[in-house]
Structure 1
């Protein structure tokens, strides 16, 4: 059975390359597009004696190579079709155009792929026949394909040398010196990567398949499968596996210095990329290899492929300092990720533990509870916590239609933390208990729910601090203070399909029955809480995450409202049983 075509946001497969290049220069007007030849150059028309630097290859690897055109990097790039080498004529056009304005000659950086070697090489030879001083350097440093007769494929070495050669050219170095530096430095680079999902050409199905729980080691940037399929591991394990092979390839030892480049193959999140950076540093530190710089981002991607590559440049004793200076040199190329912030500095991680060591409020404030009242409060909190645990699945289900399906998990964490707290906590002063619960909500629940509960509980705590006695009026004031704080900072009001619908309806019943027998007051409050949660069924959400989704997903009760009813009902039922 044929695999389905992958959906992409394009106008058509036929126009995608040209539309991409027009979009690039629309985003970065510093660049100039030569549309008939798919060439991007710097805008300068001043004739200089510098060497012009040219790179390029197939499209689908963005930002490579046009995104690296700018002062201090490439003077021009030439793009082919998706994963296809540009034709000789377009490469020759690039050389001739830049030779008009750069009398020092043209250095063409060529990725080690058959099509690029042939088309770029032929263009260089044709340029020479017209009297243009042009030379090419073939770059390849891929560890996975290093055993090939022609050497490893060109990966991150091209991006490294766009920057290093560009910096040399900006400083006035001659063509031979720049070429020789490129030839020498690429010998000290090694790249290896993995992918966990393939890419697809516009209008085509995925190029290969990867089973769930597996990854391709040594995947290429043209959608090629890797050299082997292996079981996916943690970031630490995967990075360690890759670096072990690169270190062996480069024969690195303790005391060596390196620069790392992490290439996002297209579909890897920034969260993952940052974790990979952290693991690279930790691994190299463990090997006592000095990591001088990390450059991370989309360098030479493979459309939407989910994966990454790591390239290490060994800064050897002879030339390492010079290469590092070239990498640190300024550039206005729009997609180069380096800069002042990339330069290695010691330290940079650590907390000021003194900031939160002092208590933010006075302890032992407000009315105190008798021993019996403390036992009742302990039972109330314990029962409420247990009920949240029992209702985990229900709350997750209610949350799954319009949220992220974790309301039950979140409230269960809170309940478990409360139970742990009750093992050692003093419950003599309810204002302090509420404050402690607000801190637990902040640290153990987390997220939006933790913030809402923490706000409400801290406001209730402050209200009880100024109370004169432990009576229903004091607790009602604390209750209303909690709702006011949630409305003020959360933006929700009763009727917006949130936990406030439960709290508000229960509070109204509490106020309306203040003159009734205490047991009746509690029973009606519990019933009102249940009614408030049920009333959210089909209600239009005007606040919270549910307000972002279609009404068809909010036909059941609001998860937050039901959660509030669960613990509030547990509390009043516990007090009723104690009377």
Structure 2
């Protein structure tokens, strides 16, 4: 077996360019697809308005053909690509939604996997699109059995691809947006996926992500290079299929007489010979249980670079909708993820691959709205933001250290970048309307922080901004309402709640005390609120992580306060302290 630190060789130009080079090659193969290069969006070439619903998918790259290679008539109308195993930023998702709505006035259905980064970045894009008048709905898919007991549900696996097919068929048949969304939500409840891997993959320019012995396999491996939930000795194909299907059948509560479709997802380097053997074993297993296999699909659906392994997904065709779902799956498609796609036919405008920036020119949110601050209040807001930013920068090393056990150790770096962006912003920005200030801070969080943290802060700040925009006076009640709106948005798309060992434990503890002291002396109320923020943060040291990246790792690696909770305590107490002294 190769050493863990041995670099894996790949035929690429560079790790930095491989995502964009991949998309450029895809549209060279299939000229009826259009590349929007700056936003890493691929769409079907369309003229005019179809009047129907468009289906948008996407996520990190490295899962090919997911998702851009599943774009075409009868499948996705568009896909947006992130970096390798990384969610695309909100701005790129928003561009994709706006681009599809331009040609499909029936609306846009966004299908996203149940991962924190995707939920946050796709979620904020959906909310921003709605503000500008776009008809858009989103669904979160999380059919993974291995992570199904996680607080936020199972991860999204190849079941997303099955839903691409079904929702696209409904769109072409003329169903409306909400009906398609509701069908997809219903179908996802009858889906389950589980798989194994025999070897790890590696990111371009990096060594393999984990070690596995030659006689072992990982049960429950993910599609982002994650190891599984259990190491087992390699068995025969029959034994391995039985191991997987026993758990899926139990999870879906399948019994004799039920009907299913099966999909085999090649995680990367599994040979066709192996896939064919696995297909036969699936058929025999289900027949032995009296379960009727109506269809079986096999291939690279949502891969994990070159990982050697496979997943099995079953969809239970229930008695109420099963026949209709099967019809949707049988409808034709010409997407390049399937052999013989007619998208290979070239046309005269094949060479044009440019972004259409006009779809983003309308931003209905930036109008002046909400309460107006006096000159003194503006000075207080400016200096409290300065204090918060300086505290984030000062705490970089501490936050990185707290994050290193259960994350990638960059929490401090990310928030330091946000702090510097804030310091630059307040030098020249008008702070007359706090609603606009929070909106601009949310945009900065998205662009200057990036990643999951940027998505969380961007969502929270934009929700607070919207709350302030609807207020008429600058009061304690107004700011409490904005505070609560921010927490609600983070919970909605991030999936975390107070008690889950996240920044919400700091924010919630402080908000409760602030609310209880609304009628108290203002300085005393702020001091009590700051104490509550510190207490909420300190409490995370003894909590079990139930959301976010820490929830996926062993408790042995989760030590001390949560990094996000500590960061929130730092900036919040800095703001409260300054306001208490100067208001």
Q: TM-score if structure 2 supplies the norm length?
A: 0.57
User: Displacement, 1:72?
Assistant: 1.1
Matched, 1:135 2:137: yes
Equivalent-residue separation in structure 2 for 1:170 and 1:2 (angstroms): 48
Which residue among 175, 178, 186 is the counterpart of 2:177? 175
- Give the secondary-structure state (helix, strand or coil) at the position aligned to 2:130: helix
Matched, 1:233 2:250: no
Equivalent-residue separation in structure 2 for 1:6 and 1:72 (angstroms): 36
User: Displacement, 1:2?
Assistant: 6.9
- 2:88 match: 86
User: Displacement, 1:46?
Assistant: 2.1
- 2:289 match: 287
Matched, 1:108 2:110: yes
Is the CA contact (8 Å cut-off) linking 2:201 and 2:304 kept in structure 1? yes
User: Displacement, 1:49?
Assistant: 1.1
Matched, 1:119 2:121: yes
- Give the secondary-structure state (helix, strand or coil) at the position aligned to 1:107: strand
Distance 1:181 1:82, change over 3 A: same
After TM superposition, the structure 1 = structure 2 runs for residues 7-86 of structure 1, keeping only pairs within 5 Å, are 7-86=9-88
Equivalent-residue separation in structure 2 for 1:336 and 1:230 (angstroms): 33
- 1:154 match: 156
Matched, 1:330 2:337: no
Unaligned segments of structure 2, at least 5 residues:
342-583
User: Displacement, 1:334?
Assistant: 1.3
Is the CA contact (8 Å cut-off) linking 1:51 and 1:103 kept in structure 2? yes
Equivalent-residue separation in structure 2 for 1:23 and 1:263 (angstroms): 23
Equivalent-residue separation in structure 1 for 2:54 and 2:265 (angstroms): 25
Equivalent-residue separation in structure 1 for 2:198 and 2:339 (angstroms): 24
- Give the secondary-structure state (helix, strand or coil) at the position aligned to 2:20: helix
Is the CA contact (8 Å cut-off) linking 2:4 and 2:211 kept in structure 1? no
- 2:465 match: none
Residue by residue over 1:491-524, the C-alpha shift from the partner in whole angstroms, topping out at 9 and shown as x without a partner, is xxxxxxxxxxxxxxxxxxxxxxxxxxxxxxxxxx
Is the CA contact (8 Å cut-off) linking 2:4 and 2:210 kept in structure 1? no
Equivalent-residue separation in structure 2 for 1:82 and 1:310 (angstroms): 23
Equivalent-residue separation in structure 2 for 1:2 and 1:150 (angstroms): 32
Is the CA contact (8 Å cut-off) linking 1:297 and 1:337 kept in structure 2? no
Residue by residue over 1:128-182, the C-alpha shift from the partner in whole angstroms, topping out at 9 and shown as x without a partner, is 0100011100011000000011111001221000000000001110000000000
- 1:194 match: 196
After TM superposition, the structure 1 = structure 2 runs for residues 45-444 of structure 1, keeping only pairs within 5 Å, are 45-336=47-338
Is the CA contact (8 Å cut-off) linking 2:259 and 2:294 kept in structure 1? yes
Is the CA contact (8 Å cut-off) linking 1:266 and 1:301 kept in structure 2? yes
Equivalent-residue separation in structure 1 for 2:336 and 2:327 (angstroms): 20
Residue by residue over 1:439-479, the C-alpha shift from the partner in whole angstroms, topping out at 9 and shown as x without a partner, is xxxxxxxxxxxxxxxxxxxxxxxxxxxxxxxxxxxxxxxxx
- Give the secondary-structure state (helix, strand or coil) at the position aligned to 2:95: helix
Equivalent-residue separation in structure 2 for 1:128 and 1:48 (angstroms): 20
Equivalent-residue separation in structure 2 for 1:187 and 1:98 (angstroms): 27
Equivalent-residue separation in structure 1 for 2:188 and 2:247 (angstroms): 17
Equivalent-residue separation in structure 1 for 2:69 and 2:297 (angstroms): 15
- Give the secondary-structure state (helix, strand or coil) at the position aligned to 1:137: strand
User: Displacement, 1:336?
Assistant: 3.7
Is the CA contact (8 Å cut-off) linking 1:296 and 1:337 kept in structure 2? no
Equivalent-residue separation in structure 1 for 2:153 and 2:215 (angstroms): 31
Aligned residues: 339
Query: What value does the CA root-mean-square deviation take over the aligned residues?
Result: 1.2
Residue by residue over 1:17-56, the C-alpha shift from the partner in whole angstroms, topping out at 9 and shown as x without a partner, is 0111111111111111111110000001221210011000
Equivalent-residue separation in structure 1 for 2:206 and 2:140 (angstroms): 31
Residue by residue over 1:174-215, the C-alpha shift from the partner in whole angstroms, topping out at 9 and shown as x without a partner, is 000000000000000000000000000000000001111100
Residue by residue over 1:521-551, the C-alpha shift from the partner in whole angstroms, topping out at 9 and shown as x without a partner, is xxxxxxxxxxxxxxxxxxxxxxxxxxxxxxx
User: Displacement, 1:4?
Assistant: 1.6
Is the CA contact (8 Å cut-off) linking 2:60 and 2:88 kept in structure 1? yes
Residue by residue over 1:315-336, the C-alpha shift from the partner in whole angstroms, topping out at 9 and shown as x without a partner, is 0100000000000001111114
User: Displacement, 1:338?
Assistant: 11
Is the CA contact (8 Å cut-off) linking 1:38 and 1:90 kept in structure 2? yes
Is the CA contact (8 Å cut-off) linking 1:98 and 1:106 kept in structure 2? yes
Question: Which structure is higher in RCO with an 8 Å CA cutoff and minimum separation 6?
Answer: 2
Structure with higher Rg: it is 1
Equivalent-residue separation in structure 2 for 1:233 and 1:32 (angstroms): 44
Equivalent-residue separation in structure 1 for 2:272 and 2:289 (angstroms): 26
Unaligned segments of structure 1, at least 5 residues:
340-579
Equivalent-residue separation in structure 2 for 1:249 and 1:73 (angstroms): 28
Equivalent-residue separation in structure 1 for 2:5 and 2:20 (angstroms): 27
Is the CA contact (8 Å cut-off) linking 1:295 and 1:337 kept in structure 2? no
